[in-house]
Every structure is written in C-alpha cells, then in structure tokens.
Amino acid sequence: MPLLTLKNIYFSVGQFPLLDYVNLDIELKERIALIGRNGEGKSTLLKILSQSIHPDAGEIIKPGYLKVSMLAQDLPEANETTVYETVAQGLANLSNLLIQYHQLLAATHHDESWMNQLNYVQQEIDVNDGWQIQQRIERVIQDLNLPADKRMDELSGGWRRRVALAQALVQEPDILLLDEPTNHLDLTAIEWLEKMLLNYPKTIIFITHDRALLRKLATRILELDRGKLTSYPPDYDNYLRRKEEALEAEERQNALFDKKLSDEEVWIRQGIKARRTRNEGRVRALKALREERKLRRTIKEKPKFEVNDPVMGGKMVIQANEISFGYSEKNKLIHDFSFNIQRGDKVAIVGPNGSGKTTLLKLLIGQLKPTQGSVKQSPVNQIAFFDQNREHLNPDDTVMANVAEGDDTIEIQGKKKHVIGYLGDFLFSPAKCRALAKTLSGGEQNRLMLAKLFAKPANVLVLDEPTNDLDIESLDVLETLLLNYQGTVIIISHDREFIDNIATHCIAFEQDNTISINVGGYTDWLQRAKPLIANKSSAPLKSEKQATQKQEATQPVTKSKKLSFNEQKELTELPAKIEALESKIAALESQFSDPAYYAKSKDEIAIANKALASLKDELVAAYARWEVLDS
C-alpha cells in the first residue's frame, strides 16, 4: 500500500497548468529525485505534498499520522534568533516552551522569579511530553554539528542551510522533502549530506541539479515535463537515453498529426468550392484536430549558449609568484602560493566555505593585491567575471538593458545580433526580455548573468559558482561550451561532476591549511588526497613538495665539481626530451584549433584536455631539472 497518493492533481498559473491532472504513488523508504527544467513546477509539487499550498483540483490520500516536512530552497532569515530557537521552530506546538526553557538555562542571573518561571515551564513540558522532543532537538543539533547558541546572522550561507535541514529533521518526518539541498554547501558538507541521506530510514523526495548526488542517492527518477509526471529507473544515463527516445517518438507523432491536419485543411477549402453539402462528421473532426493542436505544449528548445572567440596571445596568462594574503599576520588565508595558468587551462578551485577560494580567485585576476609576492597578467588579458552574488546585475533594469546596456544589438562571433534574439538562446521569451531583472527566479538570474558575461569579448572566463540554480539541461550546455572554449577558464564550484567534466587542474584548499595543485578534476584530486589523509607519512602534496624545494633552494649548498655519470647522461638527454614534449603539446593544440575536432564526445575531449595539462606539467618539470643540472 502506498505511503501517499496524489490523484488527479491540477494546479495552474498562467496560460498552461504546472500540474495537469497528475497521479503519483509514493512508497515507504523511497529516495525520489524530482527533475525538470526551471519553471516547470517542481517546487510547487513539493509545496503541495507538504500542504503549504493547495491544488486547484484533485486529492491527496494519506493516513492521518503521516508527517511531512520540507527543506525550502530559500535560506532561513539571517536574524538575531539563535540556532536552537530556529531548529525548535520546526515543532510548532512545543517550540515556544522549549525555547523558553533553553533561554532560562542559559541565563546568568538566577533569582526567585527565575526559579518560578523555570518550574512553570518544566511542568508544562512534562504535561506535553516535551522532554523526549527536547532530547530530539539536542540530538539533531549535535548530529549536524551546529552551534546551538550562535545567532543566525553570525552564520554563513552553508551553515544556515544546515540549520534549515535540522529544522526539517527534528520533526522526524515520514516523508522528507528537499528543494535543492546542496545549494550554499561546500564539497565536504555535500558529501556529509549524501551519507546522512543514504542512511535516512524513511522516504525522501529531493530536487537537485547535482548529478553526482542524484546518481548516488536516487532509487527512482521522477520527471516533471509540461505538467506531466513520468517515472524512470534510478540509472541517470539510462534516463537520458530513454528521454531522448521519447522525444524523438513525440516528434514523429507530432509530424504525422500536423500532416493530417494540413491535409484536412486543404480538403475543407476545396470542399467549399466543389460541393454544396459537406461531410459534417469530417468537419467536426477537423475542428477537434484544430483544438487539439491549439492545446499542444511543445518542448522548449534547449539553451544555445554562445561566447565570443578569445583573443589569442602568448601561452602565459596569469603567473602567481609566492603570493600571500591575510588581514593579519597570524591569520593568513593564502600563504606562499605559486602557480602558472596557461592559455587553454581550465582551473577549478575547491575547498570548504570560508577557506579563501574567492579571495584566491580575486588575487589571480587582480581584484585584490597580495600582501606578499606578485601576480603578473598577460598584457592581452580580457577577463569576464561571473559573480555568484550577481552584483553585476542591475535589479531595476530590464533583462535587455542588463545585457545590451542601452543598445539594441550585440556582437557575437563577429556578427551583429539583436539582443532579443541573443537572449532567446538563453531561454528568455520576448516578454521576459522586457521584464525587470529583480522579477526573475534564481535560475533565470544565473542565465542572465551568463548571457551578460558571454556578450563581452574575453580570453579569460572567471566563474564563481555558475551552476547554482541552473537546471541539468542548462548545465550540460554550459559544460559543452566551456569544453570547446579556446581561452582560459577559472571556476569555483561545488558541483563534483561539473568539475570532473571541465577541469584540467584542481587547486584544492586542504584540511591542514595548505593549498595543493592537482592535474585533473575533483575525483582525481580526491583519489590522491585520501591516501595522504589516511597516512601522513606518505608522499607529500605538490604544494608541500614546492615548499620543500623552496627551502632547499634557500639553503647554502656545496656545489659539486662535476656531475655524476647518470646526471651528465640525464643533462645530455633533456634537450631532446623537452623538444619532444613541446612537439606533442603543439600537435595536441593544433587538433584543438580544428573545428572538426569538437565532433568528438565530451569524454574524449575531457581526456585530451587532461593529457595536454599533464604534458605541460611534465615540460615545466623538465625545464626545472635542466636548469638545476646545467647550473
């Protein structure tokens, strides 16, 4: 027997319904991933399941004892309420008593009045069997490692996200609803959340754009498309294949329908001239066909992100030399960091919230100056910056004005294009183009930011959390664009699959406050990092090697009178090795400049990008070794 059933649920906003008489059975201990394009009504469906809003028609069948709680997409308010008080608000009936009891215990002044109040509150909690619930609040706060007495306005977005999750979990719901649970969480917190949800003993329904979380967690995929729900097995790649097949079948069926309608329209026009009397049944059938065609909801086109070709300069794009940054000598976020970013590199910066990722990003692109060391920029650098806080958007301007800045056209790939046509490729209708930016949803604002960014000439794209609020389809299109982009990309992201698919290098803020530089994506870094965490005596990270090399270089050494036989042989062979590496790099880069190359799959292109990055690292090491031996 299903835990909860939706029967003929209808909910409409605007011309077309978001939920068009949908039916759904939810079983015990399922973990359902709810997916679909932005604006299809996924959050609305969760709100109907939680009964925070009611459908226009239909029935929700569930037992009276069933508890449903929801983690909303928006963060809890950053106010003076403590974490404990915010979590307790998840228990509407007892929350005031429990909050009052917690405040009395935290009070420093104890007098007779305090004692009387405490006795009264304790009696009320006794009557309402609240001690068990008090323990539940404390257990959830402890499990989520939350600071109970801190105020909400003292917490980062990631911590406020954890508090909201605690507020939902404290009810011990039979069905837990999660709307974009990974938003504002760093990679460590996402992995923690993943493990916690895998062990959750009851039913979960979650909306996510994090494909790694979806693959790991879902026992069923539920797609909401044009008001209809379709259930798929949990295999995401199989879902993509079946979805493509379904769309092709729908396209064929629509083509047959349209031909039949066209033939009947020709018949009715000829029939008027040829006969006084007509087949009234056929006329009625034609009218029915017209009505059916009018009600058809065609699939929206995929977004078509375009970016201007980058201005090509030399190989070196950004050179960071032993940079440090901190607001005090004791508290440095960045310490002696060196890294060279070359043309074509796609660099991901990962690490916990507050570790200094955005600070490092701003140091690299020149928005901040290091307290020590230097950052050199190529003179041809044109940097386009995607800011996760969307500060570059003017909320009181229209969508068009934000992109075109007073003009009607923009230049893309050397051609003039009307701004409405350009924004249409980012899924903005003409009506949306004239709307104010502040009226857009989070996903729409992110698409607008990308449209604004890509309209500018740039050879360095800097993206700070570009994946937040984007649907999976838009993510796929963005990935393809960045893979094919000939310039340099620097990304901060908490989307593991996105990093794996894009990055040639991963700059990671480690747990011991060091920064490591790794070839490849997030998974590649994780595989190297785990043995190091488990065994500190194993090989050092690259940043530690650099520190050791620097220390050795600063120490006085006794210069040998002559090289050993093996060193002399290595020195003799190094020029040929360097020449061979440069030839391989040049051959790979010439392949990348051929447009036909990008007919290959994303996986093949990603492997080639990683191979190029590895060759460049090997070349840098060969030059460094040659300099040591030659000196």
Domain ranges of the chain: 79-172, 239-295, 316-552, 565-630
Question: What is the number of residues in the chain?
Answer: 631
- Over residues 471-499, the pLDDT tens digits come to 888 888 888 888 888 889 999 988 888 99
- Most confident listed range (130-139, 214-223, 278-287, 569-578): 214-223
Rounded Cα distance, 220 and 239, in Å: 10
Give the residue, 618 or 304, on which the prediction is more confident. 618
Average pLDDT (443-462) is: 84
Alpha helices in 275-398 (DSSP H): 280-295, 357-365
Phi-psi region of 390 (alpha: psi -120 to 50; beta: other; left: phi over 0): left
Give me the percent of the chain exceeding a pLDDT of 70. Answer: 83
- Most confident listed range (286-295, 421-430, 542-551): 421-430
Average pLDDT (172-196) is: 85
* pLDDT attached to residue 553: 37
Query: What class does CATH assign to 316-552?
Result: alpha beta
Rounded Cα distance, 569 and 571, in Å: 5
**Architecture (CATH level 2) of domain 565-630:** Orthogonal Bundle (1.10)
CB neighbourhood size of 396 (10 A): 9
Give the residue, 59 or 315, on which the prediction is more confident. 59
Pairing of strands 316-326, 409-412: unpaired
Check: CB of residue 459 under 8 Å from CB of residue 382: yes
- Window from 21-35, 246-260, 295-309, 406-420 with minimum mean pLDDT: 295-309
In this structure, the dihedral spanned by the alpha carbons of residues 581, 587, 590 and 595, taken in order and rounded to 10 degrees, is: -130
Q: 146: helix, coil or strand?
A: coil
- Over residues 194-221, the pLDDT tens digits come to 888 898 889 999 998 888 899 999 999 9
- Give which of 479, 511, 489, 460 is closest to 348, Cα–Cα: 489
State the number of CA atoms in the 13 A half-sphere of 141 facing the CB: 19
* pLDDT attached to residue 540: 38
- Over residues 101-124, the pLDDT tens digits come to 777 777 777 777 778 777 877 776
- Over residues 135-150, the pLDDT tens digits come to 778 888 887 888 888 8
